[in-house]
Amino acid sequence: MKSDASSSSFFEEDKESTGQKPNTDHNIDSIDYSLDAIENQLSSIALNTSIDEETPSIADDHHEPVTDANVSEMERERLMNSTGESNLSRETGVWRNGSEVEVDGATSSRCSSGYAGEMGTSSGTASASGADDIQELRNNSSSVDNDGEVSHSAQSQWVPGKRHMDEDDTCMSWRQRKKHFFVLSHSGKPIFSRYGNEHKLAGFSATLQAIISFVENGGDRVKLVRAGKHQVVFVVKGPIYLVCISCTEESYESLNRQLELLYGQMVLILTKSVNKCFERNPKFDMTPLLGGTDAVFSSLFHSFSWNPATFLHAYTCLPLPCTTRQAAAAILQDVSDSSVVYSMLMCQHKVVSLVGTRKAPLHPDDLLLLANFVMSSESFRTSESFSPICLPRYNSMAFLHAYVHYFDVDTYLVLLTSNSDAFFHLKDCRRRIENVLLKSNVLSDIQRSILEGGMRVENLPVYPSARYGSLFQNEPRLQESLIGGPAGLLHFIYHCVNLEQYVSSEFSPPITNHQNQKRLYRAYQKLYASMHDKETGPHKTQFKRDENYVLLCWVTQDFELYAAFDPLADKGLAIKICNRVCQWVKDVEHEIFLQVESPFAW
């Protein structure tokens, strides 16, 4: 297949090959269905474009197909509801199905914009981040933590999307990026690269493939290559190879986990049934299937530098008064029926409420990937959407359907169903939910929590006897002038193991800019990895002092506490403060954790 194959040409070829085997077995049928599902997935993501009449029906092993009529009805519905038709995201072109010209156009314009040998001089096409180029290069980043992230002072200013499309492996600038992610097929075809143009990285991709298969031929499997400050981490997932090349000082375990999440994010978009395409055609070109998802991946990579959920295997809740969360939970519970697998009200990446009708609780990783997908896809914000997604930990082979609706810029509702016909039902559910949320002031409480909520180290009760009843008592903030908390406490993360939830304190001075936050995040990440070593862990306690922090970690069966202090903090005092943090968390647990049926055991 030609490298510029668009999604539609892929499907043509696919049909052809099916045609060659008229008596296909069931398995092959399901492959086709899966492919159709993938195609449909892309079309549904691209809600802002009209859906082709010939869009094949969706079908996986478990779900009813969405009929053409349904789709067009859905589309009409969307048009009726859409208030932001003119605010189309700029990438919608590449999101949509059947837009061969646009996909090709996008690709070819990238390709033509400065090939090899220019050594990074062609900055004209290098997207919105020209100003970040210098910081992204290893040479110039004396600050240890810069791995090629856009380092604005505030996280909210980070702009998702792929950068440095004009680079390839011959560019010095490309070689000096601090953290690369690659996805390739087992035949060495590039599928995705964080930096640079996949098509220009074919040679490089083939090298990676050669390394992996060389070791495989020797009856082994390569996991890690280390060279100076660089680590090359390999993960093999069937026909898909994932590689990270990094000089960020993160541990092997962390990088490995990030590749697992990257793979999970791909499965969320395509399901694992994409493997079958490779079984049938080893040279299958997967790139077009991921067209337009750059923002999803760049946002995931960004979360590797600030979101503790990426290493903790837990999610976090938006702190809310108990009654508010109960009100939200009640209405979610109310709309839940046999067709809704999970329903969740989210505020950014934090959970407001989460209800599952099945016994299988939603895996924190699935939640992380789903939230990332929803938040990074601009089209979800502009109108209500009904999109096939796969939860890798729930069922990696099949699509569910996600009804997504934003109530305001931060707060959104996700209803997951296995029924592809459920759009109108879910839309109805949403209306009921919205009514209740408005009536019971849940949405305004959420906004208030964003502004004022959360645990701040400077508010840690100073006296052991002091008890906090609530985070929302409207007390005057104590000790505003204090830098950090008592005894040099800078930050903490409390992970409640049974609930698979964590709470992290708000960032207080001096950890206010993204660089500092990232450094702290990396320190926690390393601490987590060393506590949970596969062979010797989990350890019980760790005290670590380096030039940046004193870190204390406690791991018990019920909870894990990670706390960061000033590097000059006194050990004995730090231990006392940690105990106090645990007490504080216990005092306000009903506001920071989502309580599930089994009571939280202390």
Partner 1 sequence: MGLSSAATTTTPSDLLKFCIFDLRRGQHEGEELEKILFFFPADLPFPAQLSVIGLSEGLITFTRIFSPEAACEVIEADMHSHVFFEAEPDIWMVMVVAKSKETEAIWRIEALRSVLKEIHSLFVMFHGSIRVLLDKEPGGGLTRSHLFTFIMDYLTDFLTGNKFTLPNFRDSLKERGTVQMLTVGREAAIEVQSLVGVLDSCMANTLGYSVILFQDLLVSTTLTPDDTTNLFSYGTLRLTPRILSSGGTSTWSYLRKGNVPSQAELASRSANTLSALDGFRDPSSDNYRIVRPLQHGKWSKGKDGFLVTDIWGVEVGNLVPTTPTLWLQQTEHKMYLCVYQHKSLTIILLIPVTSMLNGEEGISMLKQQLLENASAKIFKVEEKLAKGWGGENAYHVKGYRYLLVDGDRNISRASPPGKVTTLAKESLLALNKVREDFDLEKNRGNVDAVNHEKDLEICIRAKNNAWVIARSTRGKQLYILLEKANETLLYASEAVEKFSDRYCNGAFSLD
Interacting residue ranges for partner 1, rule: CB under 8 A = 142, 169, 175, 207, 210-211, 214-215, 218-230, 232, 245, 247, 249, 252, 530-531, 533, 535-547, 571-572, 575
Q: How far apart are CA 155 and CA 6, in angstroms?
A: 35
Least distance to partner 1 from the beta carbon of 507, Å? 25
- The encoded tokens of residue 499 equal 């609930």
* Three-class SS of 317-378: ECCCCHHHHHHHHHHHHHHCCCCEEEEEEEECCEEEEEEECCCCCCCHHHHHHHHHHHHHCH
Which C-beta is closer to partner 1: that of 169 or that of 365?
Answer: 169
Least distance to partner 1 from the beta carbon of 241, Å? 15
Which C-beta is closer to partner 1: that of 249 or that of 334?
Answer: 249
Which C-beta is closer to partner 1: that of 119 or that of 210?
Answer: 210
Least distance to partner 1 from the beta carbon of 531, Å? 8
Least distance to partner 1 from the beta carbon of 136, Å? 14
- The encoded tokens of residue 337 equal 């029926």
Phi-psi region of 492 (alpha: psi -120 to 50; beta: other; left: phi over 0): beta
Least distance to partner 1 from the beta carbon of 432, Å? 50
Which C-beta is closer to partner 1: that of 21 or that of 223?
Answer: 223
Least distance to partner 1 from the beta carbon of 100, Å? 35
For residue 237, list its beta bridge partners.
240
Q: Taken in order 449, 454, 458, 461, is the CA torsion positive or negative?
A: positive
Could you give the C-alpha distances from 108 to 68, 266, 284, 466, in angstroms and in order?
A: 32, 24, 20, 65
Which C-beta is closer to partner 1: that of 226 or that of 358?
Answer: 226
Sheet strands side by side (includes 179-185): 190-193, 179-185, 240-246, 230-237
Which C-beta is closer to partner 1: that of 57 or that of 530?
Answer: 530
Least distance to partner 1 from the beta carbon of 179, Å? 11
Which C-beta is closer to partner 1: that of 217 or that of 474?
Answer: 217
Q: How many residues does the chain have?
A: 602
- The encoded tokens of residue 560 equal 């894990």
Least distance to partner 1 from the beta carbon of 216, Å? 9
Instruction: Decide if 570 contacts 299 (C-beta within 8 A).
Output: no
Least distance to partner 1 from the beta carbon of 381, Å? 37
Tell me the backbone φ, ψ of residue 552, rounded to 5 degrees. Answer: -125, 135
**Which residue in 64, 60, 2 sits closest to 32, CA to CA?**
60
- What angle is formed at CA 13 by the lines to CA 9 and CA 14, rounded to 5 degrees? 115
Which C-beta is closer to partner 1: that of 247 or that of 596?
Answer: 247
Which C-beta is closer to partner 1: that of 282 or that of 537?
Answer: 537
Q: How far apart are CA 26 and CA 506, in angstroms?
A: 53
Which C-beta is closer to partner 1: that of 20 or that of 536?
Answer: 536
Residue-wise DSSP of 22-68: TT--HHHHHHHHHHHHHHHHHHHH-TTSPPPTTPPPP--SSSPPPPH
Least distance to partner 1 from the beta carbon of 253, Å? 11
